[in-house]
Structure 1
Amino acid sequence: MSPATRLLVAGCLAMVVAMGIGRFYYTPMLPLMQREYGFDAAVAGLIASANFGGYLVGSIAASMLAPGVTRVWVFRLALIGSVATTAAMGLTDSTPMWIALRTLSGIASALAMIAGAGMVAEALAKIEEPGRIGWYFGGVGLGILVSGMLAQFAGGLSAAQMWLLAGGIGVLLLPFIFRELIERELEPRPHRASAGRRRPRPLRLWPLFVNYTCEGLGYSVFATFIVAIVKARPQTEAIGDWVWVVVGLAGLPSTVLWTALAERFGFAVSLILAYVVQIAGVLLPAASGSGLAALAAAVMFGGTFLSITALTLPLGRHGAGGRGFAVLTAGFGAGQMLGPVIAGYMVTLGYGFRAALYGSAAVLAFGLAVLIYGVVTRTEAPGAVAT
């Protein structure tokens, strides 16, 4: 493999560990944990929000990182922390301990994701291949796929054993990641002429910040509760774990496909389209209780939520003195911290998940409107091609 390919593979596997498993494994584990430990939707939302709150703290801390040796070591320690907190979930049945562990896990996920994304994006930008960052974020989809398959095929294990198994998988992946994902200079590859390829042109930070904050709040309800929602319906209970597998399958190639679409039709236009598809996906399980609707929603959600991040990164990373992505991720973290808590209490108060899904779709629609405003009012540079 070429150095660039090894860097991307390591980045992909880092996202499997820190995000696909460390951050999103809680979703397929939630029904099993509720069955074994007996906690309600409000507690489930609180545990999820603790992780998202930690993600916010980690995002703020990551905004202070500069390129160099420190960033590499923060990245490595964050991955170790993600693996350790994942495994430790299987060593306790205490709700306060779960909250503490998920908070630390969120901090580790954000630090690993942002530090890793910075190293990969900067290396790719220097060889004029920024679109390949999609392979990095595709690791989240691969991790979600792995977590869903674990939940599907390790059904004889207890919740504690499942958490320990996931932590063990992370340990096995760390040596390769640590060896290959470092600050490095890549050799440019020969390029074929690509006169029609669009390049990302930054948007103003404030509309992108509002938009991405709404994405955090709106997406988090689906991302946290979709498996529990599907399993709670008698007609779809059997496909609950498969829904999460489908989310991962759809997410795996999505960032590469959406980036290719963006390079052809424009990054901002593609980002708007991704939001339209995601909103439809969030509305589907609210509007219909059928298994087909649940699977279609999984495809639409899985096929967009990673791509929205991959398309937002190049549009916003130059803001705030070059720390735009960390600032945007902090807004995203604040939004997603609220989503599961609000949804959990809505269910506890009797409104149900359907109302929560409608509410999250409305938040996403508002964020989309702000994004469109930011695109429409963007000042065009002379001779620029709209993206």
Structure 2
Amino acid sequence: MQSDSPAPMRAIFAGLCASLVGIGLARFAYTPLIPPLIEAKWFAADDVLFLSAANLVGYLAGALAGRPLAQRLSARLTLQLMMALASLTFFACAIPVSVSWFFVWRFLSGLSGGIIMVLAATSILPHVPPQRRGMASGMIFLGVGLGIAGSGTVLPQLLSMGLTQTWIGLGAMALALTVMSWTWWPHPLPAAPGAAAAAPPPNGHAGALRLLYLQYALSAVGLVPMMIFIVDFIARGLGWGAHDAALFWVLYGLGAVIGPMLYGTMADRLGVHATSVLSLLGQGAAIAVLITSRQHFALALATFVLGTFPPGIVPVYLGKISQAVQGNAAAHSAAWSRSTTIFALMQALAGYGSSWLLSASNGNHRLLFTLAAGALLLCMLADLITPRRESATTK
């Protein structure tokens, strides 16, 4: 059978490389670079924080531009060019010309990440047997987790050589992954005879898609406070210092490496809705520990569990959308593009809102974590209600 040939695995590996370059490294490697950028006086502290928003703005633009660009150039060529662009941005950031120069290149790094998020999985999954698509989605977005983990392990080694060398080192890694995976992107499958390429999902599932968009937005709101402030909570909120905070960030990164494959495999075996409910229950329990405990082991375990969620939910929502559109590839691509745009927008709003609330509450991290838990609880309630509605409509 064609799908059992090595070609799908090469395509999955290309997707992993793309998510690692465009999201894992381009977004998450910047966070641990903020203090060195300030200490080296490349930019003022306010400018460095301003530049961190450039990637999020670019990511939102990429989520909007991905499908139109793929329709003009083909998804394969677009993905190849975006990996090359993301690689170039690292080399450009090795030269601290000005704040404007840095903003443009950080924006372009976010743009490439948004386009990769929209196109990578939907270009690869049609080449994978349906019963293995959860696992395949997990492998594709494993790159995001590897980037988070690498930001806490590899970057300190690069920083010991200097900031310029660090940016060049990141660029060299990204370029190597781009070259390695260049020819492994799949060509589009021919359209089925008589199939309408842009057919919308069945009318009965429009409501299901709207509910999925709402859930994905709530997921973005629910994961942002921990993703942004877990290190600050450990270092300043608990008073444990920067060393412990760095160790906890590594644990968060290890969870991010495990999450995509874990949730993807669970989705294949248990179904996407059951996996979603279980993952949200796990997140709720972890946040409860974060709010109430001061024991190192309990907080370390909670941090690891929280790390599984940001990249881990991606294969789950891909599977949910696939069910909602009943295998319609064009509708799946459109719905995933919309989901990514909504997620990017809510992630940016939640990031700025959390920063404001943390300042307004005099550094009350637990308030942020409680609000995050509330968003995830609403998300889980929607999951619990949805199957009943579906079964009711089919009787």
TM-score (norm 2): 0.81
Deviations 1:139-189 (A, max 9, x none): 22122222221234345244444233212211111111111123266xxxx
Q: Which residue of 1 aligns with 2:378?
A: 366
Question: 214-223 or 165-174, which moves further after superposition?
Answer: 214-223
Q: Report if aligned partners of 1:43, 1:344 keep a CA contact under 8 Å in 2.
A: no
Correspondence 1:139-288 to 2 at 5 A: 139-183=143-187, 204-232=208-236, 234-288=239-293
Mapped partners of 1:30, 1:139: distance in 2: 22
Q: Report if aligned partners of 2:276, 2:313 keep a CA contact under 8 Å in 1.
A: yes
Report the CA distance between 1:14 and its aligned residue: 1.7
Identity %: 21
Q: Which residue of 2 aligns with 1:130?
A: 133
Q: Secondary structure at the match of 1:182?
A: coil
- Determine if the alignment matches structure 1 residue 301 to structure 2 residue 306: yes
Q: Secondary structure at the match of 1:204?
A: helix
- Determine if the alignment matches structure 1 residue 321 to structure 2 residue 331: yes
Q: Which residue of 2 aligns with 1:3?
A: 7
- Counterpart of 2:273 in structure 1: which amino acid? A
Q: Which structure ranks higher in relative contact order (CA pairs < 8 Å, sequence separation ≥ 6)?
A: 1
- Determine if the alignment matches structure 1 residue 352 to structure 2 residue 363: yes
Q: Report if aligned partners of 1:316, 1:328 keep a CA contact under 8 Å in 2.
A: no
CA 1:75/1:66 → structure 2, altered by over 3 Å: closer, same or farther? Answer: closer
Q: Report if aligned partners of 1:114, 1:326 keep a CA contact under 8 Å in 2.
A: yes
Q: Which residue of 1 aligns with 2:344?
A: 333
Q: Report if aligned partners of 2:8, 2:124 keep a CA contact under 8 Å in 1.
A: no
Structure 1 unaligned regions, length at least 5: 186-200
Q: Report if aligned partners of 2:215, 2:379 keep a CA contact under 8 Å in 1.
A: yes
Q: Report if aligned partners of 1:53, 1:106 keep a CA contact under 8 Å in 2.
A: yes
Kindly indicate which of the two structures has a greater share of residues assigned to helix.
2
Report the CA distance between 1:28 and its aligned residue: 2.6
Structure 2 unaligned regions, length at least 5: 190-204
Q: Report if aligned partners of 1:30, 1:228 keep a CA contact under 8 Å in 2.
A: no
CA 1:234/1:252 → structure 2, altered by over 3 Å: closer, same or farther? Answer: same
TM-score (norm 1): 0.82
- Determine if the alignment matches structure 1 residue 118 to structure 2 residue 122: yes
CA 1:269/1:44 → structure 2, altered by over 3 Å: closer, same or farther? Answer: farther
Deviations 1:229-285 (A, max 9, x none): 434454242133333332232222332222222233221111121122223334544
Q: CA RMSD in A?
A: 3.2
Report the CA distance between 1:19 and its aligned residue: 1.4
